[in-house]
Structure 1
Amino acid sequence: MQHNLKYIKRVRTKGKEYLYFDTGALKDGKPVYKRLPDPKSRDFGGVYSALLGHRNRRAGIKKQISVKDLISLYEKSPEYRGLAKNSQRLYTHHLAKVEHEMGSAPAAKVESRDVAMMMAKLGDKPATANLVLATVGALYSWARDATRQFVPKGCNPTADVKQMEVGEHQPWPDHVLQAALESETDRVRLATHLLYYTAQRIGDVVNMRWSDIRDGVLHIRQQKTGKDLRIHIHSKLAAELAKHPKRALTILTTNEGHSIGPQPIRIALKKHGAAFGIDLVPHGLRKNAVIALLEAGCSVAETASVSGQSFAMVEYYAKLRDQGKLSAGAVLKWERNAS
């Protein structure tokens, strides 16, 4: 009778036949089999029925799994928990948008046009739309993995969906930067000092700890690049740091003295910019810092040693230097060196 049973694999060795059940699961891309008892034993029927039921339940789950279910599974996975804390926060924030838009939809039925529609609704926020696209891509890449197969191998709803054009973030105007460095709001003033005088991204700045500063040198590992940097503390940053008590492990904190994420800092800086009629983003200060280093006469290599950027990126930022300042400096050198 066992000849008519489904998902059975027969293996003959040393003149004896053994039966294995195909569980329907994969490990490292290969089918997972379970050894069955001898067909003549009283245990055979019960074991086979249990394995068949488990396989059918798994198949049913795969067919019915929703986008909301998929997000929940992903956020519990080792892959997600292995992300940097700031990346986790970012993914969670954008996955919530995805769940709001299509949480009840069968995950395997989501198409490129569904993702394109979601991005279109965020058309006034192109940077956010692009982050949502990247987040959906990461979610489905994880779900397609051969060890999971929560969605079919060819299920990629981000395929052929183009990123939106995003205007380049500009450096802060000098008067707005100076006002932030002198702000009466502690959060604005301290965040601006850290962003400007270290030339780092906001994700790295909110993670900076007091213990990272040793003998006047800031030791950090950039989240995005993995680069280890040693940045000598600028005297003006040192003076600002001296004004703040060490209330937590991190330098930037909430009002209650706890570690803080990037979003409250962004909000505080945007509020500062709004007073000048300007929409500010923290990344603009990275450009201010690179430009200031270059205008101070630092080489591309010296500048890159602080910002952690490639030489090509530093040279790209160099194009944003004030032409008037460069011209004045050039003529001054010309006059000084003229025979």
Structure 2
Amino acid sequence: MKKSYPFASSFLDRHGKRRWRFRRKGYPTHYFKAPHGTKDFEREYAACLEADPIRAGVDRTRPGSVSDVIARYYGDNAFQDLRDSTKVVYRGVLERFRASFGDDPIKRFDADRIARLMNAMRHKPHAAARLRKLLAQLFVIARRAKIVPASFDPVKDTRAPKVAESEGFHPWTEEELETFEAKHPLGTKPRLAFALLLYGAQRSGDVRFMTHGSIQGGRIRLRQSKTSTAVDVPVVEPLEQALEAGPLGKVTLIETKDGEPFTQKGFYNLMKRACIVAGLSHCSPHGLRKSAARRCREAGCSDEQGMAITGHKTVKEYRHYAGTSDTAARADVAMAMVMANRAKKVAKEQPQTLEKEGI
């Protein structure tokens, strides 16, 4: 059965080559780069579905306004060369900013005004940092277009609110992993997703778009969407059992009841509901990747060996996921060394004390 993609249609370009585009009323038009039906095509399609609608009147922008510069940025290579998933995130930030300040001249956003924006977003430090980063991009565009003077760079004189240190998503304990497996047996969609996240050690964004071709010769081979890191991970027995039990989709391994790839929100809700049913409401799919990294560390894997499985690019990031629960063990060793050294000094000093006392 041929898979359908609502709002996507094919056409012949001027060279006679068949191409595909996404056209939906009120939403940005997108021309697909990947071949139809491939995993990368599915990623682009999902990004199109999650894109924000175009704001009414966006084409009637005032020259030099925030809307004008945002439109220029969308057409610039700095935006066009981003991953589709990143474009969706950036569009969301910029369209919310446009909704509030679209008609304002960009040159009115001096350092003082941007600093006040950052202060107003102290309760959302991550969002503030992302907005500040994108404002810097907008001013690059504005300077290049001579909308503002070449020396006008107000963002550099501001800073985003500090992000409080956080351990992030809860890493599942072994007991919690066993509880989930007991509640959701093999042959269920949550168990299949669980196995791919835990035993494949991949992000939800990559698990959602894994196809049958991603698993060949008993190995998971893919290029991670977030970092473009190529991973080559063996399919271990628990994952093999889950894949054999299914249910598998026709194109992607995990599909909705309509035979479509899950959206980011839909996949999260699938797993979150399964966690709640299992009495694990504090757990989430994101924490399973941390559990996979923790298992690598507890098994004595080196950082490089663990990173080969998870696909992390830096040791620092991998260790953040793998955890540092061996601190107590290191403290035990250190204290044992301290006490042994102390005993050695006492043993050395004792003969001298006895000699002085004439014993």
TM-score, length-scaled by structure 2: 0.60
Aligned to 2:306: 303
Specify the code of the residue in structure 2 equivalent to 1:320. T
CA separation in 2, counterparts of 1:110 and 1:207?
41
Query: 3-state SS of the aligned residue for 2:231?
Result: strand
Change (3 A) 1:316 1:163: same
Percent identity at matched positions?
24
How far apart in 2 are the matches of 1:66 and 1:262?
33
Q: Displacement of 1:169 after TM fit?
A: 0.8
Whichever residue aligns with residue 287 of structure 1, its letter is: K
Partner of 1:91: 90
Unaligned runs of 5+ in 2: 1-59, 332-359
Q: Which residue of 2 aligns with 1:169?
A: 168
Residue 210 of structure 2 corresponds to 208
Q: Structure 2: which amino acid aligns with 1:216?
A: G
Q: For 1:290, which of 279, 289, 293 is the aligned residue?
A: 293
Secondary structure at the counterpart of residue 250 of structure 1: coil
2:11 is matched with none
| 1:73 paired residue number | 72
Counterpart for residue 137 of structure 1: 136
Bigger CA radius of gyration? 1
| 1:221 counterpart residue number | 223
CA shift digits 1:114-145 (9 cap, x unpaired): 4444445544443333333333334444x146
The corresponding residue for 1:193 is 195
In 1, Cα distance between the equivalents of 2:251 and 2:148?
42
| Change beyond 3 A, Cα 1:244–1:304 | same
Corresponding residue for 1:82? Answer: 81
Cα drift, residue 230 of structure 1: 0.8
Determine helix, strand or coil for the equivalent of 2:100: helix
**Quick one: distance in 2 between partners of 1:149 and 1:261?**
40
Aligned residues: 266
**Residue 153 in 1 paired to residue 150 in 2?**
yes
SS of alignment partner, residue 242 of structure 1: helix
3-state DSSP of counterpart to 1:100:
helix
Query: Map of 1:1-339 to 2, 5 A cutoff?
Result: 64-141=63-140, 143-144=141-142, 146=144, 148-159=145-156, 160-166=158-164, 167-174=166-173, 175-181=175-181, 184=184, 188-247=190-249, 249-270=251-272, 280=283, 282-309=285-312, 310-321=314-325
* Deviation at residue 290 of structure 1 after TM alignment: 0.8
Query: Which residue pairs with 1:35 in the alignment?
Result: none
Distance 1:131 1:203, change over 3 A: farther
**Would the alpha carbon gap of residues 270 and 306 (structure 1) be closer, same or farther in structure 2, given more than 3 Å must change?**
same
Write the distance in 1 (CA, Å) between the matches of 2:181 and 2:234.
19
* 1:11-30 C-alpha deviation (Å, 9 max, x unpaired): xxxxxxxxxxxxxxxxxxxx
- Secondary structure at the aligned position of 1:70 is classed as helix
Is the contact between residue 248 and residue 255 of structure 2 (CA under 8 Å) also seen in structure 1?
no
Q: CA deviation at 1:170?
A: 4.3
Name the residue aligned to 1:51.
Answer: none
Q: 1:46-97 CA deviation, whole Å, 9 max, x = no partner?
A: xxxxxxxxxxxxxxx9983322233233334444233212112211222222
Residues 102/131 of structure 1: CA separation in 2 closer, same or farther (3 Å cut)? same
Instruction: Give 3-state SS (helix, strand or coil) of 1:64's partner.
Output: coil
Q: TM-score when scaled to structure 1?
A: 0.63
* Structure 1 spans left out of the alignment, 5+ residues: 1-60, 328-339
Q: For residue 251 of structure 1, what is the amino acid of its counterpart?
A: L
Residues of 2 paired with 1:255 and 1:115: CA distance?
A: 46
Q: Which residue does 1:26 correspond to in 2? A: none
Give yes or no for contact 2:192–2:247 (8 Å, CA) kept in 1.
no
Q: Partner amino acid for 1:193?
A: A
